[in-house]
Chains A and B, each alone.
Chain A
Amino acid sequence: MWYRHLFKIAKQTIFLTFFLSSVWVAAACALDGNEILRQVDENMQPQSYEMYRKLINIEPDGSQKEFVFYTVKKGPDKMVALFLSPASEKGRATLRRGDNMWLYIPNVGKPIRITSLQSVVGGIFNNSDILRLDYNLEYKAEKVTDQGDSYLLDLKAKSPSVAYAGLKMKIDKTTLLPTSIDCYAISGMLIKTLHYSKIKDFGAGLVRPSMLETSSPLYKEYKSVMLFAKVNKRELADEVFTLNYMSRVDELR
């Protein structure tokens, strides 16, 4: 009968419309999440920059161990960090080009390949924390939750070479800056939590947190703090991000 045929077409049209709408909504949400993440990266640092950081490891007895390093980054995936203090680490440099990482120790005199999960300085920071690339380069947004004055982004690593399989990033809606990030292993275990605070004007329109506190359920009574200073936009030659240049990074300062 003709009306049965019409009913079938109508049913298929409704189903198709519903399906396409769902796909569109899902795609729109994902796009929003990734766009928010891109904005966060843009607000946190210029594409190419230099900066100084101080890493403070605080132990259960209150004693502290401090590391100061100089970092330069170019484009999305080239970065080098040079340790300035303490004396025992001075001159060590770590280079990252995409997923490739190398460590240069002055006494050893040659760069050696290292893995992103290895710790350069001990404590609860690893290489990836020190040589972190833009979030939107390493992670994609899977879910965005509106929490009133903040967004909660569920992020998933784009490749298994990234140090943390997943992140839950809380972002302030007004500033589009992260306030806290939970870092998860592939098993779903919480590895560490990062808290950004003390928003500061670094000049040239860069207003971002100047302090990052890290705690880890794996090292319950330990805490790490990273302070940021002199974050400046800077253009550098590609040759700076090569193995032959690792022993000379200090010349850039």
Chain B
Amino acid sequence: MRYLPSTICPGSMNFADRGLTAWHLAARGQLLPSRLIYGSVCLLVSLLLLIPIIVHGEDEFSFELDEIEKKPLQWGGYAELKWEHMDINQGSAFSSLNLSDPSLSTRDRFSGSLQIDGRYDQGIASLNWTLKAAAQQDDLGWADMTDVYEAYVSIRPVPLLTGGLGKKAYKWGKGYAWDPVGFINRRKDPNDPEEALEGYITGEIDLIKSFAGSLQTAALTTVILPVWDEVNEDFGEINNVNLAVKLYLLYYDTDIDLVYYSGNSRSTRYGLDFSRNLATNFEIHGEFAYVPNQERVRLLADYSVLVEEVSATSWLLGLRYLSENDLTSIIEYYHNDAGYSKEEMDHFFQLISEGENQFLAARDDSLLSKAQDLSIKGYGRPQSGRNYLYTKFSQKEPYDILYLSPGLTAIVNLDDSSFSVSPEVVYTGITNWEMRLRFSYLGGGKSSEYGEKLNRNKLEVRLRYFF
């Protein structure tokens, strides 16, 4: 708000209107000293109030050097609060498997999390970290976790060579929802693919070379990933040292990765991915992975369990398109040979159904225990089937409302036609705050992947503050 002299001291405006000042009038003896003092005070107050306006006008936009000063220690992150309301899919296979109280029809969950990232630079070396802590309370109880997602030292003697040692998360692959060639990646959640993930303890050497001509860049990343007692135990078989290599090429304006993994913790695997802009608003990408001896746990019709080795390929083809009215569409098709067919999933759901009957009739939980074990080993994983379609549409700032992005995400299991669909709205208009409202609806018939999930739908409100 701007304060004018007349607003503060109405009298002062009268002098100015006549082209006279209080000093002129005093000099002529037409003004009493008391009025002069009053006028002077008013003028002083007015000037003091005007100073911020004048200063603001002069330096309306400033760029101070301390804003860009680099400090050796940098850190930041976010704090998050989330409320979720879920309608339980009563009678579904996963509600029978995971809930002890079959009468539970809804669940409310409050959760909070904190992520702190940082780095400390010292000469050619830097220490990087990502720490995560989370806690939640819902109708089933309290749960919390703290974890070091990443903590590694990086040394870069020259721009074309970097060495690293410590716990680091890898995100290999070009897919948005899935990464078939992400041989040392953690599995990401297609509903939130942009979230940070926990890394593995590794040693890494990264070589980059740029060229003139059609091959513009070549980069070779070599990763040593040991699996020992209490070191990367969840990666695979212990007491092995594994090797993963990625060769990146920027060739004829196309990103190409050739990926190789070898080691005894998991079977050997080969991969290829690519990404290219076909037009300024149209990008295509794809991944292809081949695993000659993929171990697979399979439930047979007589409920016996078979551990088999199969030759499996998995691949993904996707596109990203930006329309003239700022609608971004991401569409991906994903095929996984090692996933379960509709018939195999049927056996699993029948096992749960019979296990429940057995438990109710004889308090015998052997079949339910077997189902729980199989759920962990593969049947209960997200997108455990063979063929999926992923679509995400997000509209940037509709109706010229800046920083507002409504979106819609859908994942369809093409084998059983079940699906999840999630409309959402994200608002980032307040600096360092992000608000997201999302509703997810799961649909599908009996013995289908999404038709047998624990929840029928979920409403989620998420608030994040970045610091």
Chain A residues in the interface with B (C-beta under 8 A): 52, 54, 56-57, 59, 65-66, 68, 70, 84-88, 90-91, 97-100, 105-110, 112-119, 122-123, 160-161, 211, 218-219, 222, 225, 227-230, 236-245, 248, 250-251, 253
Least CB distance from A183 to B in Å reads 15
**Cβ-based interface call for B363 (8 A):** no
Of B67, B160, B275, B400, the contact of A54 (CB 8 Å cutoff) = B67
**CB distance A107 to B402 under 8 Å?**
no
Evaluate whether A227 and B61 lie within 8 angstroms (CB atoms) in the complex, with A59-B402, A218-B400, A242-B210 already known. Answer: yes
With both chains docked as a complex, state the minimum distance between the C-beta of B327 and any C-beta of chain A, in angstroms: 11
Asked if B277 and A113 sit within 8 Å, CB to CB, the answer is yes
Using Cβ atoms and an 8 Å threshold, which residues of chain B touch A98? 253
Q: Which of B63, B221, B248, B276 has the most CB of A within 10 A?
A: B63
What is the CA–CA distance of A119 and B396 in the complex, to the nearest angstrom? Answer: 9
Please tell me which one of the listed residues B67, B160, B282, B328 contacts residue A237 in the complex, with CB atoms under 8 A apart. B160
A113 in contact with B320 (CB, 8 Å): yes
Given A87-B76, A97-B250, A107-B196, A115–B160 Cβ distance below 8 Å? no
User: What are the residues of chain B within 8 A of A211 when measuring CB–CB?
Assistant: 61
Residues of chain B with a CB closer than 8 A to A242's CB: 208, 210, 217, 219, 250
- Contact string against A for B residues 59-85, beta-carbon threshold 8 Å, 1 for contact and 0 otherwise: 001110101101000101010000000
Interface presence of B101 (CB below 8 A)? no
Q: Given A56-B61, A105-B194, A122-B402, are A88 and B428 also a contact pair (CB < 8 Å)?
A: yes
Interface string of B274-302 (1 = CB under 8 A from A): 01110111110100000000000000000
Residue of A nearest to B328 (CB): A118
A residues in contact with B169, CB < 8 Å: 109
B337 beta carbon closer than 8 Å to chain A: no
The interface residues of chain B lying within 8 Å CB-to-CB of A85 are 67
Closest to A240 in B: B159
- Asked whether A222 lies within 8 Å of B402 as measured between CB atoms, the reply is yes
Contact call A116/B63, Cβ cutoff below 8 A: no
Contact of A219 among B209, B248, B400 (CB under 8 A): B400
Q: How far is the CA of A244 from the CA of B432 in the complex (A)?
A: 27
Contact A238/B402 with A100-B277, A243-B248, A248-B162 known, Cβ cut-off 8 Å: no
Identify which of B221, B281, B433 contacts A117 (C-beta below 8 A): B281
User: Inside 8 A of A105's CB, which chain B residues have their CB?
Assistant: 194
Given contacts A54-B63, A229-B65, contact A237 B159 (CB under 8 A): yes
Q: Could you tell me the distance between the alpha carbons of A237 and B158 in the complex, rounded to whole angstroms?
A: 9
Q: How far is the CA of A21 from the CA of B219 in the complex (A)?
A: 54
In the complex, B460 has a CB within 8 A of chain A: no
The answer to whether B117 and A106 have CB atoms under 8 Å apart is yes
Residue of A54, A107, A123, A160 near B280 (CB, 8 A) is: A160
Residue B109 interfacial (CB < 8 Å)? no
Are the CB atoms of B67 and A115 closer together than 8 Å? no
Is A107 in contact with B195, judged by CB distance below 8 angstroms?
yes
B172 at the interface (CB under 8 A from A): yes
Contact of B277 among A110, A115, A225, A245 (CB under 8 A): A115
B156 close to A (CB within 8 Å):
yes
Q: Which residues of A contact B467 (CB under 8 A)?
A: 87
Residues A108 and B210 in contact in the complex (CB < 8 Å), given A54-B67, A97-B216, A119-B396? no
Closest to A65 in B: B431
Contact of A57 among B65, B78, B322, B402 (CB under 8 A): B402
Given the contacts A99-B277, A117-B281, A225-B61, A244 and B250 also touching, CB distance less than 8 Å: no
Given contacts A68-B68, A109-B197, A244-B221, 19 further A-B contacts (CB under 8 A): A54-B67, A66-B431, A85-B67, A88-B428, A88-B434, A90-B76, A90-B466, A91-B117, A100-B250, A100-B253, A112-B176, A161-B279, A211-B61, A227-B62, A230-B65, A239-B160, A242-B208, A242-B250, A250-B119
Task: Return the chain A residue nearest B162 by Cβ.
Answer: A248
CB proximity to A under 8 Å, residues B193-238: 193-197, 206, 208-210, 216-217, 219, 221
- Shortest beta-carbon distance from A29 to chain B in Å: 30
Would you call B255 an interface residue if the criterion is a C-beta within 8 Å of the partner chain's C-beta atoms? yes
Question: Is B126 positioned at the interface, with any CB of A under 8 Å from its CB?
Answer: yes
Give residues 80-132 of B contacting A (CB, 8 Å): 117, 119, 121, 126
Complex interface residues of chain B between 231 and 284 (CB less than 8 A to chain A): 248, 250, 253, 255, 275-277, 279-283
Which chain B residues lie closer than 8 Å to A227 at the CB level? Answer: 61-63
Q: In the bound complex, what is the Cα–Cα distance between A253 and B68 (angstroms)?
A: 9
Q: How large is the interface on B (under 10, 10 to 19, 20 to 34, 35 or more residues)?
A: 35 or more
| Distance in Å: Cβ of A44 to nearest Cβ of chain B | 18
Closest to B218 in A: A242
Measured between beta carbons, the chain A residues less than 8 angstroms from B210 are 237-239, 241-242
A90 to chain B: which residues have CB within 8 Å?
76, 466
Interface string of B421-438 (1 = CB under 8 A from A): 000000011011110000
Can you name 11 A-B pairs with beta carbons within 8 Å?
A86-B431, A88-B434, A97-B250, A108-B194, A113-B320, A222-B402, A225-B61, A227-B62, A230-B65, A239-B160, A244-B221
User: Would B126 and A251 count as touching, CB distance under 8 A?
Assistant: yes
Point out the residues of chain A lying under 8 angstroms from B276, CB to CB: 113
Q: Contact: B402 with A99, CB < 8 Å?
A: no
Interface-centre pick from B172, B174, B176, B217 (highest chain A CB count, 10 A)? B217
Which residue of B68, B159, B219, B400 contacts A84 across the interface (Cβ within 8 Å)?
A: B68
Q: What is the minimal beta-carbon distance from B22 to any residue of chain A, in angstroms?
A: 34
User: Chain A contacts of B326 at CB under 8 A?
Assistant: 119
Per a CB cutoff under 8 Å, which of A107, A116, A248 touches B194?
A107
Q: Please state if B159 and A239 are interface contacts (CB–CB under 8 Å).
A: yes
Report the bound CA distance from A170 to B390 in whole Å. Answer: 47
Q: Which residue of A lies closest to B405 (CB)?
A: A122
**Are B280 and A113 in touch, CB under 8 angstroms?**
no
Contacts of B74 in A (CB 8 A): 250
Rounded to whole angstroms, the CA-CA distance of A54 and B61 in the bound complex is 9
Report Cα–Cα, A221/B283, bound state, in Å.
33
**Nearest CB of B to A82, in Å:** 11
The 7 closest A-B pairs by CB, nearest first: A238-B210, A109-B171, A88-B466, A110-B171, A237-B159, A87-B466, A227-B63
For residue B217, which residue of chain A has the nearest CB? A242
- B residues 427-461 near A (Cβ < 8 Å) are 428-429, 431-434
- Residues of chain B within 8 A (CB-CB) of A245 are 159, 208
Known: A244-B221, A245-B159. A161 touches B280 (CB 8 A): yes
Which B365-409 residues have C-beta < 8 A from chain A? Answer: 396-397, 400, 402-403
